[in-house]
Amino acid sequence: MVAYNYDSNAILAMTSRTDPALLAAYKCIHQTLTSRGLQPKLQRLKNKASTTLKQYILDKGVDFQLTTAGMHRRNAAERAIRTFKNHFMAILCSTDPEFPLRLSDRLLPQALTTLNLLRGLRINPKSAYAQLNGAIDFNRTPMGPPGTRVLVHELTEARGTWTPHAIPGWYIGPKSPNPFCSLTPREAWE
């Protein structure tokens, strides 16, 4: 699911396509926006949206419109969806060739952070990320290229006396929760 908020110019995304996961993702995104003072009033949906999702949207006091099949120009979010896809594909293409693609959903938080840091805001001169989460301190949140090979330090208790002090791993992003939701992408659909 990819959601686009017009006022903040933010792109928000979660993984999976099952109805329960889409509903959980929408609840999370709606909660994030309302807690930041961005109360949605109108939601444009693809014409294949589930009845459960539509009912939840109505219960929250948000009106919705369905986009006609094949008419992507009418849905303002389509450009944001294409931008997100291009950004995420660029991240996937720059990962190590041996990076397991089954872990690609773990790259989503950093992808959303970097994408929204680059997007200007419609309502003031901050970035879309700053509107939703406050200014980011790069000294406290260093970010490297996702999908890079790393050596992960093992604590003394977890390793033997003469074993290496690190094990091979993958960099998937800074140690922080999903910036837009309390759920990690995998928890949203498990």
How confident is the model at residue 75, as a pLDDT?
65
Express each pLDDT in 25-34 by its tens digit: 888 888 888 8
How confident is the model at residue 72, as a pLDDT?
61
Average pLDDT over residues 73-94: 85
What CATH number is attached to the domain comprising 92? 3.30.420
For residue 151, what are the domain limits?
Answer: 2-189
Report the mean per-residue pLDDT for the chain. Answer: 82
User: Which of the two residues, 189 and 91, has the higher pLDDT score?
Assistant: 91
The DSSP annotation for 94-155 comes to TS-TT--GGGGGGGHHHHHHHHHHHSBPSSSSSBHHHHHH----TTTS----TTEEEEEEPP
Gap between the Cα atoms of 138 and 111, Å rounded? 15
Gap between the Cα atoms of 80 and 76, Å rounded? 8
User: Which of the two residues, 70 and 144, has the higher pLDDT score?
Assistant: 144
pTM of the full predicted structure?
0.78
Average pLDDT over residues 41-47: 82
Average pLDDT over residues 92-114: 91
How confident is the model at residue 189, as a pLDDT?
37
| Total tally of structural domains belonging to the chain | 1
